[in-house]
C-alpha cells in the first residue's frame, strides 16, 4: 500500500518529461556546435571585415563617456615605466628625428623677442663664472706668435719709421745742441768764478756789456 500511496502519475510524468528535456538539450547542444563549426568554416572573415563601416562605428562611440569611465590612476599604477624605458630604442628614435626640419620650423626671431636678456643677466653669477675660468688654459691656447704676426702684417712699420725718422733725428740733434750749450755755459761760469769775472746775464748766451774806460 505504501508504494501505491507514494506513486503518483503526475510525478512520474514530470520525471519522464525532465529526462526527455535533458536528452533534447544535449542533442541540441551537439547539433548547434556542429552547425557552428560548419558555419564558421564557410564564413569569409575578410569579406565580413571589409563590409564593416569602421567610421560609422567610430561616429557612434561617445569618446568622452568612455574616457570618463577610464580609471587613469589605476592604469598608471599598473604601468611599469622602467620596463617600458628599457625597451625604448633611444638611438633609433634619434636617428629618425629630422633635426634640420625642426630647426627650419623654429622662429628664432620670435623666440629671441620673448627672452628677457636683462632678467637672464641678473641671474648670472659673474664671480662664480670667473672662478671656474681656467685663465692659464686660455692663455696657453692663444697663438701669441701668430697674433703678433697678423698685427704686424696689418701695420706698415717701415713707413712709420720713415715718416717719423726725420723728426726723431731733428729732435735728437736739438737735444745734443742744447746739452752742448748747457755744458759751455757751465764751463764759462766756472771760469768766471775762478777768474772773478762777472758772468753773462741770465736767460741768454750773450756776454756782459763792455765797461766804459776810466
Residue among 11, 81, 92, 104 at smallest CA distance from 3: 11
18: region left, alpha or beta (phi > 0 left; psi from -120 to 50 alpha): alpha
Residue 191 in any domain: the answer is: no
- Collapsed DSSP state (helix, strand, coil) of residue 84: helix
User: How do the residues of the chain divide into helix, strand and coil, expressed in percent and rounded to 5?
Assistant: 75, 0, 25
37 within a domain of the structure (yes/no): yes
What is the reported pTM?
A: 0.24
Tell me, yes or no, whether 152 lies in a domain. no
What's the confidence (pLDDT) of residue 143?
A: 77
**Structural domain total, the chain:** 1
Going residue by residue through the chain (214 aa), what tens digit of pLDDT does each one get?
A: 444 455 677 777 778 788 888 888 888 888 888 888 788 777 787 888 888 888 888 888 888 888 888 888 888 888 888 888 888 888 888 888 888 888 888 888 888 888 888 888 888 888 888 888 887 787 778 777 777 777 666 666 666 666 665 555 566 666 666 766 665 666 566 556 655 556 555 544 444 444 444 4
Please report whether residue 203 resides in a domain.
no
How many Å apart are CA 8 and CA 10, to the nearest integer?
5
Range of the domain at 15: 7-43
- 156: in domain: no
For position 208, what pLDDT does the model report? Answer: 46
Residue at 168 is within a domain = no
Q: Considering the domain boundaries, does residue 34 fall inside one? A: yes
pLDDT of residue 78: 87
Amino acid at each position: 500500500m505504501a508504494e501505491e500511496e507514494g506513486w503518483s502519475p503526475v510525478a512520474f510524468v514530470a520525471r519522464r518529461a525532465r529526462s526527455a528535456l535533458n536528452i533534447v538539450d544535449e542533442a541540441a547542444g551537439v547539433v548547434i556546435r556542429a552547425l557552428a563549426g560548419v558555419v564558421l568554416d564557410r564564413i569569409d572573415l575578410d569579406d565580413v571585415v571589409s563590409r564593416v563601416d569602421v567610421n560609422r562605428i567610430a561616429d557612434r562611440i561617445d569618446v568622452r563617456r568612455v574616457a570618463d569611465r577610464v580609471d587613469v590612476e589605476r592604469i598608471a599604477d599598473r604601468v611599469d615605466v622602467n620596463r617600458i624605458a628599457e625597451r625604448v630604442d633611444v638611438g633609433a628614435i634619434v636617428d629618425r628625428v629630422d633635426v634640420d626640419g625642426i630647426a627650419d620650423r623654429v622662429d628664432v626671431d620670435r623666440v629671441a623677442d620673448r627672452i628677457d636678456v636683462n632678467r637672464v643677466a641678473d641671474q648670472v653669477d659673474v664671480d662664480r663664472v670667473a672662478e671656474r675660468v681656467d685663465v692659464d688654459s686660455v692663455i696657453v691656447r692663444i697663438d701669441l706668435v701668430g697674433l703678433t704676426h697678423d698685427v704686424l702684417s696689418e701695420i706698415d712699420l717701415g713707413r712709420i719709421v720713415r715718416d717719423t725718422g726725420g723728426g726723431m733725428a731733428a729732435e735728437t740733434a736739438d737735444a745734443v745742441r742744447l746739452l752742448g750749450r748747457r755744458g759751455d755755459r757751465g764751463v764759462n761760469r766756472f771760469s768766471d768764478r775762478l777768474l772773478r769775472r762777472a758772468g753773462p746775464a741770465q736767460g741768454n748766451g750773450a756776454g756782459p756789456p763792455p765797461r766804459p774806460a776810466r
